[in-house]
Amino acid sequence: MGGIRPFLGWTAAALLVGGLLYLAQSQGIFHTSFPVWALGMVLVWALGFINLLARGPR
């Protein structure tokens, strides 16, 4: 699978998406008490994991 490098890329993307969603929620764009930023991070990590599984071992 190429070691840990693909996971680091998807983790960086998840942190970026989570941070942007956190800023948007703190600015009042999302009026909810639900942590939207956490959901965004989990969705990006899930997408990355599915992508890495679909590519298979290299």
Report pLDDT digits (tens) over 20-43: 999 999 999 988 888 999 999 999
For the chain, how many structural domains are there in total?
1
pLDDT of residue 8: 86
pLDDT of residue 32: 84
User: b or e along 32-50 (b: 16 or more beta carbons within 10 Å of the residue's beta carbon)?
Assistant: eeeebbeebbeebbeebee
Report pLDDT digits (tens) over 4-15: 777 888 889 999
pLDDT of residue 45: 92
CA 8 – CA 13 distance, rounded (Å): 9
- Looking at residue 23, the DSSP 8-state letter turns out to be H
Parent domain of 31 = 5-55
